[in-house]
Amino acid sequence: MKWLTAQAAAARLGVKPQTLYAYVSRGRITARPADDDPRQSLYSAADVATLERRRRGGRGRKTVAAGAISWGDPVLESAITAVRDGRLIYRGVDAVTFASTATIEDAARLLIGYAPDARRRSPGAAGGESAKARGFAFLAARAASDPPSLGRRPEQLAAESLDLIAGLGVAFAGADLADAHLHEHLATLWRLDARGADLVRRALVLVADHELNPSTFAARVAASTGAPVAAAALAGYATLSGPLHGEASARAVLFLETALRDGAQAAVNATLARAEPLPAIGHALYPMGDPRAASLLKALAPSTPLQEAIDGAEAASGDHANIDMALAALTLDLDLPRDAPFVIFAGGRMAGWCAHAIEQRETGRVIRPRASYTGD
């Protein structure tokens, strides 16, 4: 990532230093201390370029729409999750610290904002040859049979959300383990020891929510129509299945497997020779490194060959590994099936999808943006 001095950033934007500092305080430009002088700050060149384009293009409706749709300005208000100064925060709680001891059920209660004392147990039985397929089948069945979310109290929807998470765990495992947590269902499915189960627990909480990502936005759109919470979760689950979202770890798994077989440098060279970017490296919201990845990799303590592969990718790119790389490393270290990163992502993100669905219902508004017509 490239950085600019205050003078260079202000000159590109045509503003005074005070205005530049205001952009930083409002989260529109990322800043960090300079390496050679901590009293001086450097400013993200990418953020400055984005802001420069918006200022040059004006703030008409088309400009706002084009800029907001991809890593742009916020498009709706939420009190659930924030990304601030390189930290992930769940309702005011640092997510990394929270993940050190919490379960995904704890995360769901925190993110949803309601903590029902009791919940109905769902059997979660669903057909399918893989955990991923059984998850699809379970949520589809519930979406088709559950009552709409419209007109129901948030406490009711919260209890239903916890039931959905419990049912998804049963569907993933293909067996009901009484009152087991989701990570315990997965540990049984994958035959993990206590260490492996705890790593999966941590990973689930670290991916529980991440602001307004594609799958969460899809869940909110579904919920805004009054659809069942299960339907909102199914919309998120389906969106997550895309290779540019929840399946991003698949490329990282292939990269790490190549590195383990041929060496880290050979894997880097092979990837770059195909004119492909190194997988699971860098994150637009974390210019100084993804704290979720750092937390999971520290707890995992990968084997030397795995760590060398990750280090090689970071050195070649000049950026940090993100959560997709950490999930890929977890998959190989614990010898998990290749759909494990998706299963962990989906299982953890259920908490966020349900929380956002309930928050969207509380607004009472339907999400219905306009299109800018470009046809004949």
Active-site residue numbers? 245, 283, 324
DSSP structure class, residue 26: T
In this structure, are residues 310 and 321 in contact, taking their beta carbons and an 8 Å threshold?
yes
Q: What are phi and psi of 75, to 5 degrees?
A: -110, -10
For 93-130, where are the alpha helices, taking DSSP H only? 95-99, 104-112
Scored b (16 or more CB within 10 A) or e, 248-287 reads bbbbbbebbbbbbeeebeebbeebeeeeeebbbbbbeebb
Parallel, antiparallel, or unpaired: how do β-strands 93-94 and 3-5 relate?
A: unpaired
Q: How far is CA 347 from CA 24, 124, 263, 355, in A?
A: 35, 13, 32, 14
203 alpha carbon, distance to own chain's centre = 11
In this structure, are residues 73 and 67 in contact, taking their beta carbons and an 8 Å threshold?
yes
In this structure, are residues 182 and 124 in contact, taking their beta carbons and an 8 Å threshold?
no
